[in-house]
Structure 1
Amino acid sequence: MAFNKIKVSNPVVEMDGDEMTRVFWKSIKDKLIFPFVDLDIKYFDLGLPHRDATDDKVTVEAAEATLKYNVAIKCATITPDEARVNEFGLKAMWKSPNGTIRNILNGTVFREPIICKNIPRLVPGWTKPICIGRHAFGDQYRATDAVIKGPGKLKLVFEGKEEQVELEVFNFTGAGGVALSMYNTDESIHAFADASMATAYEKKWPLYLSTKNTILKKYDGRFKDIFQEVYEAGWKTKFEAAGIWYSFKSRFISHLFL
């Protein structure tokens, strides 16, 4: 019996991965995709040996292709530590591919369960799925860290065109320690808020923001303020018409489910 493959008009970016994920993904393609779907694939090998051979440029190229074609499938990849550097004989301890891709896309990571009727739930009474969105730009993925050796003052300095800021973070008096500096931008937080509200509106689900602004009053507080601004400016009327809502919770995300 003749079968006409489903024609996909838009190219799809394929990011191959490491170890067994390459085997699984090839089997899925050969058995479940290629026999039934006709599509143009833009292939990028993000396996650790090829990332090393290209000085990790392939990761950037894959992310840029995703920006161009809007659809990508990525397999699991190894983020090397010291042991992996020695194991693979790498030139450098390359950064997380996921972090690189997310920063280039300036996107939001949404994780949502796939509901299957024939698979029992761990919590049988929990019948409505939850979609969790996580900001995927800056923060730990673009942080700068250092090991401090010996006593001394740690400072945070900003040299702007209109203002200069210098903050004393900590005065090390003993053997030393560690330090971390991270950042985010108003533009990226605004995009995060807009993407979160667009997703909630599309699904007709309420949206909750959880931060720890009780501790990080300025850092997490900025997320809280921008989310509220975005909601008031472009989404409040739509949410109310759809019978959903936006709510900010100053607590750990686990508390939202209790």
Structure 2
Amino acid sequence: MEKINMTTPLVEMDGDEMTRILWKMIKDELICPFVDLKTEYYDLGLEHRNETDDQVTFDSASATKKYGVAVKCATITPNAARMTEYNLKQMWKSPNGTIRAILDGTVFRAPITVKGIEPCVRNWKKPITIARHAYGDVYKASEMKIPGPGKCELVYTGEDGRETRELIHEFAGAGIVQGQHNLNESIESFARSCFNFALDTKQDLWFATKDTISKKYDHTFKDIFQDIYDKEYDEKFKAAGIEYFYTLIDDAVARIMKAEGGFIWACKNYDGDVMSDMVSSAFGSLAMMTSVLVSPEGYYEYEAAHGTVQRHYYKHLKGEETSTNSVATIFAWTGALRKRGELDSLPELSAFADKLEQACLSTIESGKMTKDLALITTLEHPTVLNSEGFIKAIRETLEGLL
């Protein structure tokens, strides 16, 4: 078949470890044979981020603002062990956190459902979408090790030079301290993104924090959400027949375990990171979770919700066979291609993205899958494929659909 032409590039953000290996396979087998792929490429692998003092991450976010649509591979957020392993200049911050801060969007994550992979929470009948705030909190925190006895304070100095102080702790010995922040403007964008997404998808919206303990920080989130809802969205939600309600995060967890799904659960940045992993794992696999960052200005960045699959990468380096699930990474590509097709009025590009997703699901439903799915499928006698074999099986199914 003739390749589908693209008119505007995608921003392509390459990543780390096993997902980087899958990234190339997906392009070579599932995209480039069918699409005249145009991308502006950025290498967000940890080694290159270190070489560029992480400037490449900032450049990729700026490019996303320019072109409107990006697709990102999973990347490493280094810890002390990674500092040594990669001989890093410093412990670079999360590239996802950096990009989220620059684009000021909201991350929407939803499980990819497929016949034969049943949620381990039996009453979950429909997907649960996690809406994750995309700015601040622990991802932009400042941290300090306290060497010994002394006083630690929060200090705000206004433009007029006046100081406001709040005691954090009187240290009797060594310890640690962390300072988090957020912005009312970003919280407002988060709230509107959630309300708009709920209206677009006709789903109820839940929002949860811990305002009973965090009476200023978390309570500000709660108040901003409620104020915007009351002024701008109450009548729209009623007309759409959907509901918004706030509850404490621990109450939300208890409710969700007994719910049927089919709603959006809005969470602060770290809560959303953790809860999206819980939801995706309970629906079947961490590799079966889509993720898209949507900014108020209309920028989109698609990625898989999982990490770099470090354990499989070390096996791969030893020449051992791996069976790594590539579905969420494929869906990152399809999400970006579909959106690019929508924005550029290229229905054939969007249709290709739909068919590639269908090929992924049909391949699994035919009994061909990676080991993680084979361990939990209700299908009888599944065929376990290695990483490359699974992608080649998807290509075979895709060629049949095309």
- TM interval, short-chain normalised: over 0.9
Q: Percent of aligned pairs with the same residue?
A: 51
**1:139 is matched with which residue: 118, 137, 140?**
137
Aligned to 1:166: 165
Shift of 1:60: 0.5
Residues 146, 178 of structure 1: 8 Å contact kept: yes
AA partner of residue 51 (structure 1): R
Question: Is 1:192 matched with 2:209?
Answer: no
C-alpha distance in 2 between matches for 1:171 and 1:131: 42
**1:205 is matched with which residue: 183, 203, 206?**
203
Shift of 1:37: 1.9
Structure 2 counterparts to residues 235-254 of structure 1, below 5 A: 235-252=233-250, 253-254=252-253
AA partner of residue 29 (structure 1): K
Question: Is 1:89 matched with 2:87?
Answer: yes
C-alpha distance in 2 between matches for 1:86 and 1:126: 43
Aligned to 1:70: 68
**Residue ranges of structure 2 left out of the alignment (5+ in a row):** 259-402
Shift of 1:137: 0.5
Aligned to 2:16: 18
AA partner of residue 78 (structure 1): I
Tell me the alpha carbon deviations over residues 110-164 of structure 1, each in whole angstroms, 9 at most, x when there is no partner.
Answer: 1101121243332344211110111120110111111111111111110113653
Residues 106, 134 of structure 2: 8 Å contact kept: yes
More moved, 90-99 vs 191-200: 90-99
Aligned to 2:32: 34
C-alpha distance in 2 between matches for 1:176 and 1:84: 25
Question: Is 1:7 matched with 2:21?
Answer: no
Residues 108, 195 of structure 1: 8 Å contact kept: yes
Could you say what secondary structure the match of 1:183 adopts?
coil
Structure 2 counterparts to residues 217-228 of structure 1, below 5 A: 217-228=215-226
Shift of 1:256: 3.1
Residues 149, 170 of structure 2: 8 Å contact kept: yes
Residues 9, 39 of structure 1: 8 Å contact kept: no
Residues 31, 37 of structure 2: 8 Å contact kept: no
C-alpha distance in 1 between matches for 2:79 and 2:128: 33
Could you say what secondary structure the match of 2:111 adopts?
coil
**1:116 is matched with which residue: 106, 114, 117?**
114
Aligned to 2:314: none
TM-score normalised by length of structure 1:
0.93
Shift of 1:193: 0.3
Shift of 1:94: 1.3
More moved, 210-219 vs 88-97: 88-97
C-alpha distance in 1 between matches for 2:203 and 2:179: 35
TM-score normalised by length of structure 2:
0.61
- Note the aligned Cα RMSD (angstroms): 1.5
